[in-house]
Chains A and B, each alone.
Chain A
Amino acid sequence: MITITQEDFDPGVYIDAARDRQVGGIVTFTGIVRDDSISAIELETYREAALQELEAIRDEALSRYALQSVDIIHRIGTLSVGDHIVLIVVGAPHRRDAFRACEFIIDRIKETVPIWKKEYTNEGSRWVSGEHS
């Protein structure tokens, strides 16, 4: 499942859902808001393009690695320190493919998916500068 949502999620629900008779390992990445002396962050997206890009990343992961399932949930809106930002759940027959695919997916998300972060501090707000132009 690929989702962009304002709602929080329970990683355990998605890990359980990835269980399958063909799955020997499930690898997850959970991104959370780190305390960089901020009070909140706000995530903005170009939703239609971001969903399309997340689907393309999933499809590329499925073609590169031997996987049983890929789920990606990305939150938008206002989040506080400790809140979930993103969840990736990869189920595969063997652990190596699951680990590699999970890392591939989060790296690609940071490179290409149109989502931006604004940090709020006591002094004001600032956009987090992306690394890839």
Chain B
Amino acid sequence: MKITVRAFAQFREVVGEVTVLDLPEGSGLPGLLAALASRSDESRNLLFDDQGAIREQVIFMVNRKRVPRSSLDSIILDEGDEVAIYPPVAGG
């Protein structure tokens, strides 16, 4: 299934602005991040810590809805979903 990933701020500079990933059916956010991380060491270091855990600074939205940290593992993605990843916001 095709999932569109949009990245912002320093994440955009490393991962790219828009990436379309072809993921297996039933994939979730950890699988999506692993696919992004496999593209470069810089991406892996940005998204995962030394123990392989998703860094706390990675914020997710799925179809423009913020995903709470506690739901990271439970979300199943669907064909055509838009996932956004970004660091803590700094507007205002």
Contacts and interface: CB of A to CB of B under 8 A. Distances in A.
A132 interface: yes
Contact of A116 (B9, B56, B66): B9
Interface stretch (B25-33, B36-44, B45-53, B57-65): B57-65
B88 A129 contact: yes
Contacts of B92: 31, 74, 85-86, 106, 109-110, 113, 115
B6 interface: yes
A48 B84 CA distance: 11
A116 to B, nearest CB: 4
Contacts, number: 77
Give the secondary structure class of A's interface.
mixed
Among B6, B59, B87, B88: residue with most chain A CB under 10 A: B88
Interface string B80-92: 0000101111111
Among B9, B64, B89: residue with most chain A CB under 10 A: B89
Interface string A89-119: 0000000000000000010011111111110
Interface string A35-62: 0000000011110111010000000000
B64 A115 contact: no
Interface in A6-50: 31, 43-46, 48-50
B19 interface: no
Contact of B89 (A31, A106, A114): A114
Interface of A: 31, 43-46, 48-50, 52, 74, 85-86, 106, 109-118, 127-133
24 contacts: A46-B84, A46-B86, A50-B91, A52-B64, A74-B91, A74-B92, A109-B91, A110-B89, A112-B66, A112-B89, A113-B89, A113-B91, A114-B61, A114-B89, A115-B90, A116-B89, A127-B9, A127-B10, A127-B90, A128-B90, A129-B87, A130-B89, A131-B88, A132-B88
